[in-house]
A and B are shown apart, each in its own frame.
Chain A
Amino acid sequence: MEFLIEAAGLAKNYPGRAQPAVADLNLRVAAGEIFGFLGPNGAGKTTTIRMLAGILRPDGGRVRVAGVDLSRDPVAAKARLGYVPDEPALYERLTGAEHLNFLGDVYGVDRATRARRGGELARRLELADSLGMAIGGYSRGMRQKLAIIGALLHDPAVLFLDEPLVGLDPKAARHLKDLLRELTAAGRAVFFSTHGLEVAQGLCDRVAIIDAGRLIAEGTPEELGATPERAGSLEELFLRLTGGQDR
């Protein structure tokens, strides 16, 4: 099996904090997989995704993206990944179109491909009419959509998304889910964090649960006890593993 994301012994300590934010984290995501990353607030999901996407320097461990070591050849690894942060802070003064063109220029996407892929995504996410507007005037959801289009413009082998469904309207959320399925069908890998357990159950090929910086469970939703008939059991598992309802 070809693994597009490999993390080994990943660790992160923020200065001035006694507890590590992430400790000895190991995981692998294969081509064609949608991987769901679950965990309570402050568990270390954002920290992990940032390290995997090369935004944050890990204190220890290795990350390989599409077979390229992120610390050894960061430029090549970054060219193969896309990332949508939880709160997309974009260049307020650029228009949506300028932002996408900037990314296209930097990732070396030619104009025809930009027009085809970017135009299609903008239409599906209903952002096409707002591309001429300065990002400073975008709503949260619009920023999210623009960040998603930007992350997909160069057709990355691996896509990281941090709570991508927050702030999206139901229609856009549906489009995004379809999009993620299409990507994995084309052999890409998708890694996303979420608090929506039904989403994880319905969408993901595999899920992992992180608590206090450590992986505490990993497997297919079925392995973790969730079947279509026993909907909601992922929730029970989550609550049990992360300390119950009344911690």
Chain B
Amino acid sequence: MRALRAAACLMLRLDLLGIFRSRRWWVPLVIAVGLVPLELGWYGLLRALYVLFAARNDGRMVLVLGVTAGMLTALLFGSAYLLSAIFYGRDLAFLLALPLRRWQVVLAKLLPVVMNEYLTLLFVAGPAFAVYGAGAVAGPAYWAALPLVFVALPLVPLAVATMVILALDRLAGVHRESVRTLSGLGVATLVLAIQAMVRQTQELRLDAPAVAPLLAGYRAWAAALDRWFPFPGWAARGLTGHPGYLLAFLGTSGIAAVAAVVLAGRSLETLTAAHRSRTVGGDVWRERGRLRAMAFREAAIHLRTPVFLTSSLLGTVLLPAVLAFSILRGHPVEGAVPQRLQILAGLGAVGLSVLAAASAGLGATALSREGRSFWLSRLLPVPAREQCLAKLGYAWSWSLVGVGLAVGAVSLLARLPWGVVLPCAGTAALAVLVVAQIGLLVDLYRPRLDWEEPRQAAKGNPNVLLAMLATAAVLFPGGLGGALADLAGLAPWKIWIGLGLYMGLLSVGGWLLLRGLAEGAYRRIERF
């Protein structure tokens, strides 16, 4: 037990330290600040619903709602936490070496996950508990049972997440990489779906005739929930004076947790198993040109490391798609857009491309992605500027996909004529080249190479944000100038030519700068 406690404490400390060490302690802070209005809104909504439910003598429904939301969140976040704890964690081998039983190893690994879950749940289910407790002036039995329910809340979802992940891992066999990629894409799709749902509900008018059937239907909804997923109903009844239901909820949660821990303990070996092998087709030896070889290295590192791939996919593909979709769905455009707005829409598409390229961060993590293997880059008889050229080309070609998507989506939805689409696409292509150059310059001067886990080079890399800020500073004047010139009534073709010149000059300057600085910057890098 002593060993278990020590290991669990260590895991917790590492989890917390990870946040502070990575100099990203401000991230949770920013999130917390951003959460305040959301939290207030959620609380207000629950209050309003409680009043409605209580009028029908059904105040308990607010608990059902809170617990359901909490369990769904726990499932969603739990899967993400679990994935990062189990798949991304390199410490599993270390834990296995300690004098611990297997279930203890799993427990030590899960503890930070569970702590994260409780923190999340405090914000999701907490308000519902508070609303009901205050509204119904609940007695001591409610407040006494509440901690127990809260503790049990994430256990079933976590158990489900564990089993799904283990099953996926089994199914995918050695292709653990694809499990990660799949789940990354799954989360992304879910975000998109939620986004779409939120849009849908926003379009719903919340006036009386619309709400009435919704409210009338909630009993049917609750019955269906009780049939398919009885836990929230059990928890709500258990909290409101039915001890049998309370026991059922706590009991199933406990059993689920134990089952998950035991099962995960059984699968520890496969989870720590070696990487897959790629079969060599026919002849092992094949030749490429030097620059193509450099490009191959960039592509192989980027495409085969799931965190790198998913984070740039999110930026390059999803961001422009979602943004273009949300911006334009709000204002469906009828017929052709007046010329004035065409320029602005085109500028918007350029801005979207820039945002996508900057948030994908392919330039800003170009060196960082090499990690400790960077010594090879120093060893190779290839000038640094040539290595940077390959990195730049790779980042640019990815950004061009984003340009195609962003410009394509905006043009289709705003029905822009070719006379606007083409100069817009050209300007965007040059602009994202500048984005890649700025990113590369930032990463040249402060690459993050001594990472243990690839996400530290991608999602956890402050260079992406830095490069974003720098990009905004460099490109914003151009966009502003374009918009102002449009307002001043300058002819569109003059605006596009002006913007093209601005971006063209910047990209030539950027390349000259990179060319001149690369060698010196490469030589200065010592931490890898």
* Interface residues as binary, B248-287 with A (CB distance below 8 Å gives 1, 0 otherwise): 0000000000000000000000000011111110011111
Taking a contact as CB atoms under 8 Å apart, the answer to whether B301 and A108 are in contact is no
Q: Does A28 contact B (CB under 8 A)?
A: no
* CB proximity of A69 to chain B, nearest CB, Å: 14
Contact B300 A75 (CB under 8 A): no
| CB-contact partner of B285 in A85, A94, A115, under 8 A | A115
Task: Tell me the smallest distance from the CB of A236 to a CB of chain B, in Å.
Answer: 36
Asked whether, in the complex, the Cβ of A111 is within 8 Å of the Cβ of B287, the reply is yes
CB distance from B387 to the nearest CB of A (A): 10
Tell which of A89, A107, A110, A111 touches B372, judged by Cβ atoms closer than 8 Å: A89
Interface contact A93-B300, CB-CB below 8 Å: yes
Q: Is there contact, CB below 8 Å, between B382 and A106?
A: yes
Q: Are A111 and B285 in contact (CB under 8 A)?
A: yes
The chain B residue with its CB closest to the CB of A115 is: B285
Q: Given the complex, which residues of B lie within 8 Å of A42, measured CB to CB?
A: none
Q: Contacts of A104 on B, CB cut-off 8 Å?
A: 285, 287
Residues of A in contact (CB 8 Å), total: 43
Q: How many residues of B are in contact with the other chain, CB < 8 A?
A: 39
Complex-state Cα separation, A100 to B288, whole angstroms: 12
**Could you say which of A76, A83, A89 has the most chain B C-beta atoms within 10 Å of its C-beta?**
A89
The residue from B285, B294, B301, B371 contacting A106, defined by CB atoms under 8 A apart: B294
A101: interface (CB < 8 Å): yes
Asked whether A107 lies within 8 Å of B381 as measured between CB atoms, the reply is yes
**In the assembled complex, which residues on chain B have CB atoms less than 8 Å from the CB atom of A74?**
381
**Given A107-B381, A111-B285; A102-B275 close (CB under 8 Å):** no
Q: How far is the CA of A12 from the CA of B383 in the complex (A)?
A: 23
Are B300 and A105 in contact, with the CB atoms below 8 A? no
Is B297 positioned at the interface, with any CB of A under 8 Å from its CB? yes
A162 shortest CB reach to chain B, Å: 11
Question: B522: shortest Cβ distance to chain A, in Å?
Answer: 9
Given A98-B300, A137-B275, A137-B276, the answer on whether A105 and B376 have CB atoms closer than 8 Å is no
Q: In whole angstroms, what is the CA distance A105 to B288 when docked? A: 6
Chain B residues in 8 Å Cβ range of A92: 275, 373
CA distance A90 to B373 in the complex (A): 5
Hey, which chain A residues are within 8 Å of B301, CB to CB? 91, 93-94
User: Is the beta-carbon distance between B296 and A114 smaller than 8 angstroms?
Assistant: no
> In whole angstroms, what is the CA distance A104 to B290 when docked?
9
Q: Check B381 against A137 for contact (C-beta < 8 Å).
A: no
B-contacting residues, A55-97, CB 8 Å:
55-57, 74-76, 78-79, 83, 85, 89-95, 97
Q: Which 8 residue pairs of A and B lie closest in terms of their CB atoms, listed nearest first?
A: A105-B293, A89-B372, A132-B280, A133-B277, A93-B304, A137-B275, A79-B381, A136-B275
Q: Chain B: residues with CB nearer than 8 A to chain A?
A: 274-280, 283-290, 292-294, 296-297, 300-301, 304-305, 370-373, 375-376, 378-383, 523-524, 526
Q: Could you list 22 examples of A-B contacts with CB < 8 Å?
A: A54-B378, A55-B379, A56-B526, A57-B523, A57-B524, A74-B381, A75-B382, A76-B381, A85-B375, A89-B373, A89-B375, A91-B297, A92-B373, A94-B301, A95-B278, A100-B284, A107-B380, A119-B285, A133-B277, A134-B278, A137-B274, A137-B275
